Structure 1
Amino acid sequence: MGRSATVVTPLVAALFAALLASCAGVVEGAPSVAGVGEPIYGLPVSDHSRVELAVAAAARDIAPCGLLDQNLVASLGQVTAFGPVGDLSTCHAELVPPRGTPANPVWVEVTVGEREPTEDTGAGEVTSGIEVRPAVGALPGTCTLYFSLPPVPGVPDDDTAPGRWGHVSYLDGAGGTGDSAGGDDCAEARTVLGSVADMLRTPVPVRSDIPLAQQDPCRVVEKMSGRGVETFSPGSRPYECLLTLRGGDAASVQLALSPEPSQTGGPEAVELDGKTFTYFRDALECHYYFYPGAVFDTNLPSSPVSERDKRSNRLTASVAASAPSCDDAETLVLAAAEMFDY
């Protein structure tokens, strides 16, 4: 597999050129506080938000499947599926360990771009500038190791500009009865993390070949001029954008990979301005989805026959827009479709 690491894209460079030109410097406060600096996507942002946008952009420049070495994963067992999943910041491998069965597979994942670890973690260790923290309280056969992403060039190395994190996870579907070395549930995760750390230290940029993965979800703001967006900032993952609408309502746009939409049952299909969207409402928000691009099949032809056609491994790019008001969610998803529908 190729290598991937933090590279400075034109967006990152532009964000920091504007930041350094600001005489105010980095300001403290919530990233949703509106600023008076150079507009981004047509809307003024605070210096804090400008930094957060640049850090999220740098995280999107790290292709997670460029960090997960498929040959290394194959040394742990027979790989039956390999590819991106979830919110586009995760690469997933499914495999059958040497003394395991397809009924109890092992999952290995690398995720990049989290704002902070999402689990309680133990004491960290720093190796070659990368901090590693183990998740605590894991189930038997499970290990998750969080690691800090490399600093983004031009970002102040202090609390006003926190970096992002990633993690390596190893899950033994047999519940700890598989082949972990010497009963050490983290042996395999540490092996994978060592490879990831080497790639992060010796950058060779590899961009995802999924068009949606090359997009900033906050670009939807370009299509929302005059439609009530007050502020915007990256979410806890790099493919999520959080927006504050006029009146203070929170809304969001998320880019992801999702299972193929079911032809029967499931959320309702609705038509807006001549385009078809998937729709449902929960107790808090209205949610609209659409699916740009082709189906991405992560099943491997070399896997056992019983494992080749898992529907859960057939994924399609998806864009979700959510807001408390269904009218706002409709406006947002139509703007997202104009920006991201290929």
Structure 2
Amino acid sequence: MFQILPNINVDWMGIRKPLIFISITILLAGLISAVGRQITPGGTDAFNLGVDFQGGTVITAKFRQKPSADEIRAALNEAGIGEPIIQDSLDKKDEVLIKVPLISSEGESGNVDQVNLGRQAVKNALDKFGREAAPEKSLDDDPEAAYKIVGTDSVGPVAGAQLRNQAVIATLLGMGGILLFIAFRYDWTYAAGAVIAVFHDVLITLAFFSIFQWEISLTVLAAFLTLVGFSVNDSIVIFDRIRENMTLHRDKSIYKLTNDSINQTMSRTIVTNGLVFLSVLALVLFGGEVLRGFSLALFVGSIAGTYSTIAIASPIAIWWQSKIGESKMKEITVQPAGPKLASAARKPVTRRPVTR
């Protein structure tokens, strides 16, 4: 079999503490970002929830001469639209995404169409910069127009709350199923390491979404569920190699076997995860605005998943096995009932080494 690094011999368990420190630093940065944004007067929310989860109307406007975000926000405030979120399009420099809260009005016939209300309210505010292009014309075909609304999307508050709750439940159920499978197929100590690594990957990705205020939508949720399977798949490969090596090398410690197993599967990890990384990088660069959140979540999560398999899942698994071994030794008690039993009690008890 082709191997990129056939003779790699890295003491991964020896550098596990610095690697874990990197994770803690990123998680703390994400926590500070989320809490700081939430408690700062006039600040944004901890996470930039999309219309799918928060409810509201998103207008995509294309400008001939794009005004600044502050100018657009001021125009929206003058039109009576509170708490708008203005975002520049990442792949189209002349387009702006304007997210506003749901606008509803009660009439004799009930609720008026919230999509049209939101669009009309934003249009009235943007008319400050000039008129909109005619409906049958593009902005380039109407030289006297200042802008053109090219996209509108709206989700009600009840639907948004339901989607948010279902997203959390789906993620937790996925992690619970993984925990049960690995506990049944391998050992519950490995299951604990794998699930904690999965939580680590999701939290690291959420930290980046909070720090950079990337929008969280239903496509991002799909990326999170994909990351759960991706991270566990990588962990299972190493766990299976550890189990295989334990039967072949019974004289070696768990510490040494874990290092050997990671090094032996490193070529496979580089090839498979490298291809995933290149595919996701292509999505980030060329996927466009619609796939932006999905591709960014996979981009960060694929790196975190590869990293956590080595730095999180495996160390936690051998740490649990070490603790279990120590507790079993403490539970061994022998009651002196005679000279033979007393002498037997003084004999040393041997067990499989866990650390170096």
Would you tell me which structure has more helix in proportion to its own residues?
2
Tell which has more relative contact order, 1 or 2 (C-alpha 8 A, sep 6+). Answer: 2
Shared fold (TM-score greater than 0.5)? no
Would you tell me which structure has more strand in proportion to its own residues?
1
For the pair shown, which has the larger CA radius of gyration, 1 or 2?
A: 2
Short-chain TM bin: under 0.3
